[in-house]
C-alpha cells in the first residue's frame, strides 16, 4: 500500500529514492551481507529495512544515512547542499554585488 507521502512527491524525487534503494541493495549484495545482517547494523526491523531497499519516502533520512555508513559509504549527506556547489546561489549572490563600494562616513576612507 502506497502512502500519501509517496503520492505527493515530485517524480524526480520518487525516481531518486528508488535509485537510492536499488543502489543500497546492490552495495549490500556486493559486500555479501544479508538483510538480517543489515537490520542488525542499522538497528531497524525487517519491514523497515525492506522499505529502505525500495526507496520508501516514509523511512527517515537519518536511517538512510546510517544504512549508507553501515555499508562503508562514508558520510553520505556532507556535501548535498554545500553552498560552494550551489551554482545558482553563487550567480545570484554575484548579481547582487554593488557597482561601487564607498567608505562609510567618518571612517577616514580606510
The gap from C-alpha 8 to its chain's centroid, in whole angstroms, comes to 18
What DSSP state is assigned to residue 84?
A: G
pLDDT tens-digit profile, the chain (110 residues): 566 767 889 999 999 999 999 999 999 999 999 999 999 999 999 999 999 999 999 999 999 999 999 999 988 888 888 888 888 888 888 888 788 888 888 765 55
Question: What CATH number has the domain bearing residue 38?
Answer: 1.10.260.40
Say if CB 18 and CB 72 are below 8 A apart: no
Residue 29 lies in a domain: yes
Residue 95 lies in a domain: no
Residue 11 lies in a domain: yes
pTM score: 0.76
Amino acid at each position: 500500500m502506497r502512502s500519501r507521502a509517496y503520492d505527493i512527491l515530485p517524480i524526480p524525487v520518487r525516481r531518486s529514492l528508488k535509485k537510492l534503494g536499488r543502489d543500497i541493495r546492490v552495495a549490500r549484495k556486493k559486500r555479501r551481507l544479508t538483510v538480517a545482517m543489515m537490520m542488525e547494523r542499522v538497528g531497524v526491523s525487517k519491514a523497515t529495512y525492506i522499505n529502505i531497499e525500495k526507496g520508501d519516502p516514509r523511512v527517515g533520512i537519518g536511517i538512510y544515512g546510517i544504512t549508507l555508513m553501515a555499508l562503508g559509504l562514508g558520510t553520505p549527506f556532507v556535501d548535498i547542499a554545500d553552498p560552494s556547489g550551489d551554482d545558482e546561489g553563487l550567480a545570484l549572490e554575484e548579481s547582487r554585488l554593488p557597482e561601487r563600494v564607498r567608505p562609510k562616513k567618518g571612517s577616514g576612507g580606510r
